[in-house]
Amino acid sequence: MREGEIHVAMRTILKSWGWTLIAGEFPGGTDHELYPLNVVDPELARDNSPDPRRHSLGELIPDIVAVKDNFLLIGEAKPRYSQSDQEKLDVLLNDRRDDLLLALTSFATQRNFPNLLPLEQFSFCPLLIFNDDSKSPPIENQQSYLRVISFQEGYFEGYLSEVGT
């Protein structure tokens, strides 16, 4: 499967498992189903200037954000395991966590997702999504993989498989 197909499959699979899709962005930035979650650097965006290119410096947009019960997954999808996507998730959930929380809080209010608040109710779950046959390193901490078999079939590895969601 190509990257766009992985994106379609992950959404179909997550919805079939009872996840509510909150935000997302297809490859190339086009999406007619979900709004993107724009995690911006407030130091660059604070001046309210009309220059959106400057504000996009340091911007991070996860491929998918979804909730189920008290789990909030932040996912990145590629046809194969991607170390750069792993690093992006690490940055989002650690170094830029405050920016992520601010973006989620704003998104919940602006896009009418009151079930996102308070954010403290959620266990944040980083998720890498890729083809079933892709090689990948061992999973650590609360990391999970969604391995895509087909447009309707996949399975979790790691934390999300252990908690039964």
Rounded to whole angstroms, the Cα distance separating 163 from 54 reads 41
The Cα–Cα gap between 162 and 137 comes to: 18
The range of the structural domain enclosing residue 36 comes to: 3-48+55-162
- Per cent of the chain over pLDDT 90 is 78
Residue 51 above 60 pLDDT? no
Predicted TM-score (pTM) of this structure: 0.89
Q: What does the pLDDT average to over 92-117?
A: 95
Q: Quickly state the pLDDT bin for 165 (edges 50, 70, 90).
A: low
The pLDDT of residue 57 = 52
Region of poorest pLDDT, from 87-91, 152-156, 159-163: 159-163
Q: Mind listing the pLDDT tens digit for each residue in 5-23?
A: 999 999 999 999 999 999 9
Q: Contact at 8 Å (CB) between 160 and 71?
A: yes
Digit-coded pLDDT (tens) for 111-149: 999 999 999 999 999 999 999 999 999 998 889 999 999
Domain of 20, CATH number, reads 3.40.1350
Beta-carbon contacts of 135 under 8 Å, excluding residues fewer than 6 positions away, are 80, 81
Residue 52: pLDDT above 70?
no
| Tokens 């001046």, located at residue | 47
Tell how far CA 134 is from the center of its chain.
19
Q: Which residue has the higher pLDDT, 39 or 30?
A: 39
| Residue 36: per-residue pLDDT | 92
Cα distance between residue 157 and residue 153, in whole Å? 14
- pLDDT of residue 108 exceeding 90, the answer is yes
* Number of domains comprising the chain: 1
